Amino acid sequence: MSEKKQNPWEMALSQFKKAADVINLSDDLRAVLSVPQREIHVALPVKMDNGKVKVFTGYRVQHNNARGPYKGGIRYHPNVSIEEVKALSMWMTWKTAVLDLPLGGAKGGIICDPKNLSIGENERLTRRYAYAISKFIGPYEDVPAPDVYTTPQHMAWIMDVYSALAGHYEPGVITGKPIESGGSLGRSNSTSRGVAITVAEAAKRMNIKLKDASVAIQGFGNVGSNAAIIMAQEYGMKIVAVSDSKGGIYKKEGLNVGSVLKEKEKSGTVTTLNGVEKISNEEVLTLDVDVLVPAALEEVITEKNASKIKAKIISEGANGPTTPEADEILFKKGSLVIPDILANSGGVTVSYFEWVQDLQRLWWSEEEVNRMLTERMTKSFNDVYDAMKKYKIDMRTAALTLAVKRVSDAVTARGIWP
C-alpha cells in the first residue's frame, strides 16, 4: 500500500504561503487569495440506460477573477472531491497568471466513472451539469475546458446547452471544442508543444546544444507522444527512452518515434517494439540523459529516487510528478525542474487563443497559433527563470511567486468593494 497522499487543498495553501512569504505579501491579500470566491455544489439526476434515475454530484469552484474571467477544466473521475477541485482552481489562477493571460482560475468535476457510462449516459450527465451551472458560466464570466476523462465532444454538448439557454450560438463559453464547433487549430498538441518550447529555452540558459540532446519520456500518451514528435522533428533532439503503463524501452542511439507510435497503435504498448532494450518505468526516470519528461502520473519523482536522477532538465508534462522533498534534492544538485504550472501550460494558452477567436468570430491558422504559443511560452519561461535567479529559489517557487505577485497586484488595483 502506498502512503496516503497529502490533502490537495492543504498542499495548494502550503505552496501559496511559501510564495507569499517570498514577496512579503500582506495579511489582507493572503486572506483574500486563500479562499475561493465561489463554490458550487450541484446534484445531477440522470436517467440511465436501464430506465432508472441516478443522482451524481458535481462541483464548480471559482477561485479568483481579478485578472479576467475564471478559467479551468472539468474532470470526470470516481475520486473527484471538493478539496481536489478547490486546489485545482487555485492552481489554475496561478497558471494563467504565470502565462500572463487575462484570465482567472476555476475548476469543475463530477464524481463518476466515465468508463462505465454509455455515450448516451455521458451526454445526459454532461447536459444536466451544463444546465446546473449555466448561471455561473459564460464567455465573460467563467470559461470551462476539458480535463481528465472529458473530451471535445463533452465541450460541444456544454456549448450547445448554454447556447440554447442564451437563445443564440455562443462558442466563447467553453474551450477545447471540436474545430467544427468553434475550436482552435493547434489545440490538440498544444500541451506537448509547450513542454518542448520550455525545454528548448532551458537548454539555451544551460548551454546545452539541442541537436542530438538525449531525452527520456515517462508516459507515452497524448502529451508524451506528441512531445516526442515535436522535440525529434522540430528541434532535432534524440529520444532514447519512452514508456507506458506496461513498461519502457531504451535505445542509446535514439528511437524512431514514428516506429514507436505505430507499435503503440498496433499492440497497445511500446514494450513490444523489436530491436530495443526493455526497461522499467522507474529506470526511465534515472537514465543518464539531458532531458527527462515525466508525462504520466503524479508523485513519481520522490525523495527515494531524486538523488539518482541524472537529467539536467526535468520538464513536467504531467501534473504533480515531483514531490516537495524531491524538489529540494533536485534543486540542491543543480537540476532544473520546469514545473507543471509552466511546462504543461501550452493547453490553457491555446485555450485562451480559442476564446479570443470565438469572441471575434475570427479563426487563425495553425501556424499563427503555434507562433503565438512559442512567443508566450518563451517569455513566460524567461520571466520565471529570472525570478528564480532574483530570489535564489527553485523554479516551482519562482513560478508561484511570480503568479501570486501578478494576481495580488490586480486585487490591489481593483480594491475591495463595496
Q: How far apart are CA 39 and CA 332, in angstroms?
A: 39
> CA angle at residue 24 from 20 to 28, to 5 degrees?
75
238 is catalytic: no
List 71's β-bridge partners, or say none: 143
Q: How far does Cα 120 stand from its chain's mean position?
A: 28
Q: Say whether 81 sits in a helix, a strand or coil.
A: coil
Grid-cell match 463530477, residue found: 110
Query: What is the arrangement of strands in the sheet containing 336-338, beginning at the earlier edge strand?
Result: 277-279, 247-250, 238-244, 214-218, 291-294, 313-315, 336-338
Do β-strands 105-111 and 70-77 pair in parallel, antiparallel, or remain unpaired? parallel
CB 60 within 8 Å of CB 106 = yes
CA nearest to 238, candidates 261, 208, 215: 215
Query: Would you state the cell numbers that stand for residue 205, as one nine-digit string?
Result: 540558459
Q: Which of 107, 177, 238, 264 is catalytic?
A: 107
Query: Would you state the cell numbers that stand for residue 203, as one nine-digit string?
Result: 537548454
Do β-strands 38-47 and 53-64 pair in parallel, antiparallel, or remain unpaired? antiparallel
Query: What is the arrangement of strands in the sheet containing 142-146, beginning at the earlier edge strand?
Result: 38-47, 53-64, 105-111, 70-77, 142-146
Q: Which residues are catalytic?
A: 107
